[in-house]
Amino acid sequence: MKLTVSRRALFLSTAVLSLAVTVSGLPTIALAADGTIKLGLVAPMSGPNARYGAFSMHGAELAVKDINDAGGIDGMKIELLNADSQGTPVEGVSAARRLIDQDGVDFIIGDVSSSVTLAIQPVAEDAEVLLLNAASSNPKITYQAGVGGFKWTYRNYPTDENRALIVAKYAAEQRGFTKFAVLSVDSDYGRSAITFTKKYLPDFKGEILSEDYYKEGEVDFRSVLAKIRDNGAQAIIMYGLADTTPIIARQMIELGIAGKVALIGNGEFNTEKTIKSAPSALEGAVEAAAWLPQFDSPESKAFVEKFTATYNEAPNNHAYVHWDTVNLLAAAIKQAGSADKVKVRDALSKIKYKSPVGEVTFDDHNQARLPMILLQIENGKPSIKGAYTADIQYPAN
Amino acid sequence: MLSTIVEQSVNGIVTGSVYAIVAVGMTMIFGVLRAINFAHGEYYMLGTFGAWFSIDYLGLSYEASIVVGVLATIAVAYVVGQLVMRRMVGAPAESGVLATLGIALILQNTIILVFGGGYKFFAGGYIEPVSILGFSLAQQRILILVVCLLVFIGLELMVSYTRLGMAMRAVSQNVECCSVVGIDVPQVVLRTFMLGAALAALSGVLTAPVNVSVYGGMGELITFKTLPIIIMGGLGNVRGTFVAAMILGVAESLVATYVGLQFRDTVGFATLILMLMWRPHGLFSTQARF
């Protein structure tokens, strides 16, 4: 009995002691944290969009490392914390909450998926945390930001409306397509891109013959592709997921429509891996992107070189936009002269940031004015067809 | 019009073949254990990963990768069978649900930890199309069909004529009597389980070339596609499973064509609900047995 009691006492005192050490350790940590800027990254690190998440993380990491190695922003270092959204709104919201409540971040970059970004906007707004979106393209995100409502959301990425217009125009004017089939991902991104395509197609005498949406993880597209083969569409408008593109392209080969029906839209048609998976199906594919590794500017080339050297892999669009957005945030902090989130937000509204694709300024909906780059796959290689800008028509409030 | 229906039905039969090979394993495991194996899709995933690994890392041919994928899965199934499944003979149904769900999580997350959560590109297989009576079908899909038929003929022969097959039928009918007459029930359960996992893996490796992408979570959807099939087929019924898989495959294909791709997955779940309401013992059985 006595032994048990003393054992318990020993156990208790150890517990108290270890707790005391932890507590006494706290001020030191807080002291060390003083002068660091905590930046959260919400991205899909697992699930069907994990590849996007990995690229986003690497892009952001690279920018943070460069900034810190150069002595930080006015001596303040950036600490990057990441939280996995799994590409779903529910997980995205809890990831954002974790960053805000537990890690105490003032700045969040995220998410890749529009559905997730739309879900975490109100969370950031409630907590008054600056949410910088780097890769979601649903127009609603900035329809409802700035003068539209949310004061803490900014977006450094072109919207689906720009993209839809640019792609429709190119397909009609340069390729002479008038008959289209839709095969897009069933998400806020895929659906809204098609809504805007429909808004502009009549201007180019284009018509949509069939409309299908696929769930993430879908692997059998033969029924839809057979329908497209029979309805005589000249092109498939696809706003989809990078990982699904090779599956669709391969099944196009199976059905004998590879090379006869073109893929247009956006879904990483231009990466080496995708082209290699089904070269004949991707020949002639047209894609509009915010940025491409082939983009010709010295800063952009330097980024591609550095990224490839660091991660043994060429960067994609998501790596670039996250890298660029960290730099944009750093520029805003520098301009504000402080990491105070209100001052940084005001600085961001007035910023004239020089990005590799051109000067970035924000409109009254906190939306960056950015060009889009259009490319076409020719002889198994992406070839750039020019950069286009299109102004967004905001709906009346 | 008619040709579209025929073509889509052929597509559906190929999809059904994939489901059939996976589902028959699950239904047999149910037969001997009276437990739904919620980790069944994970063996499908493991087979695919084994094959992908042997092509990408070991540089083996696609044919060799089928063998590696299936053998690797059998090895995992042996370990899981020894540690978990054997002990579930006569255990309450809840413990089977919990144990297999746990195994599903462990297998899935181990793969994600080791290989990462992203999609991998599966490089093997025969995707060139063949034209038959005006329809084009990939060689790989013809292979899937042929293998499916062989598997079912083999299983029919096995359950009718081999010692293991007869023991499996006996165990599925009455566990106590089997123990009394000296059948090693845990051993039968273990072997049935390994056979089921091997079939799931085989199906995964055969499908990988047409599905192109390989990722840790790919088994989940398969598990949930097999549930309506084994219930429609009558739990534990091999022939019923075959017919049910074909019905579901064709129905999905026609729905994707005429209603919309986004409604494809609802077919299975609607079937599941209807079956549970109308004929919980399946279309082809009056009771769950072989």
Rounded CA-CA distance A322/A69 in Å is 18
A19-33, B51-65, B85-99, B266-280: least confidently modelled range = A19-33
Q: Which of the residues A56, A211, A219, A276 would you substitute to probe the B interface, choosing the one with the greatest number of B C-beta atoms within 10 Å?
A: A219
Q: What are phi and psi of B170, to 5 degrees?
A: -60, -50
Within 13 Å and on the Cβ side, how many CA atoms surround A86? 10
Q: Say whether B119 and A51 touch across the interface (CB within 8 A).
A: yes
Q: Say whether A256 and B129 touch across the interface (CB within 8 A).
A: yes
For chain B, what is the domain count? Answer: 1
Q: Where are the beta strands (DSSP E) in chain A?
A: 36-43, 77-84, 107-110, 130-133, 153-155, 179-185, 207-214, 235-239, 262-266, 286-289, 353-355, 358-360, 372-378, 381-388
Task: Give the three-state DSSP class for A355.
Answer: strand
Distances from the Cα of B177 to the Cα of B27, B169, B170, angstroms: 21, 12, 8
Contact A269, A263 (CB under 8 A): yes
Whether pLDDT at A183 is above 80:
yes
Range(s) of the domain holding residue B123: 1-289
- Residue B165 to chain A, least CA–CA distance (Å): 34
Residue type, A388: Y
Q: Say whether B261 and A219 touch across the interface (CB within 8 A).
A: no
From chain B, the residues in CB contact with A256 under 8 A are: 129, 131, 136
pLDDT band at A17 (very low <50, low <70, confident <90, very high): very low
A4-8, A94-98, A202-206, B130-134: least confidently modelled range = A4-8
Rounded CA-CA distance A376/B133 in Å is 35
What tokens does B98 get?
């919990």
Give me the percent of chain B exceeding a pLDDT of 70: 98
From chain A, the residues in CB contact with B19 under 8 A are: none
Q: Strand pairing partners for A37?
A: A78
| Residue A252, pLDDT score | 92
| Residue A1, pLDDT score | 43
The mean pLDDT value for A378-382 works out to 90
What tokens does B28 get?
């047999």
Chain B contacts to A (CB-CB under 8 A):
4, 7-8, 11, 15, 112, 116-119, 121, 127-129, 131, 136-138, 141, 210-213, 215-218, 221, 253-254, 256-257, 260-262, 264-265
Query: Exposed, middle or buried, A294 (CB in 10 Å: 0-12/13-18/19+)?
Result: middle
What's the CATH number where B112 sits?
Answer: 1.10.3470
Vertex A110 angle, CA A109 and A114, to 5° = 150
pLDDT band at A33 (very low <50, low <70, confident <90, very high): very low
From chain B, the residues in CB contact with A251 under 8 A are: 210
Query: Exposed, middle or buried, B110 (CB in 10 Å: 0-12/13-18/19+)?
Result: middle
Tens of pLDDT along A148-166? 899 999 999 998 888 888 8
| Residue A318, pLDDT score | 92
Task: Mark A140-177 as b/e (b = at least 16 C-beta within 10 Å).
Answer: bbbbbbbebebbbbbbbbbbbbbbbbbbbbbbbeeeeb
Residue A65 CB: number of other CB atoms within 10 A?
15
Tens of pLDDT along B137-188? 889 999 999 999 999 999 999 999 999 999 999 998 888 899 899 999 999 9
Rounded CA-CA distance A209/A228 in Å is 8
Q: Which of the residues A49, A208, A223, A245 would you substitute to probe the B interface, choosing the one with the greatest number of B C-beta atoms within 10 Å?
A: A223
The mean pLDDT value for B67-95 works out to 92
- Residue A186 to chain B, least CA–CA distance (Å): 7
Total beta-carbon pairs less than 8 A apart between chain A and chain B: 100
Contact B260, B267 (CB under 8 A): no
What tokens does B253 get?
């294909």
Q: Say whether A223 and B262 touch across the interface (CB within 8 A).
A: no
Vertex A206 angle, CA A204 and A210, to 5° = 155
Rounded CA-CA distance B25/B238 in Å is 9
Contact B186, B89 (CB under 8 A): yes
pTM listed for this prediction: 0.75
Residue A189: which of A94, A113, A296 has the closest Cα?
A: A113
Q: Which residue has the higher pLDDT, B260 or B2?
A: B260
Residue A279: which of A269, A288, A289, A287 has the closest Cα?
A: A269
Q: Say whether B210 and A226 touch across the interface (CB within 8 A).
A: no
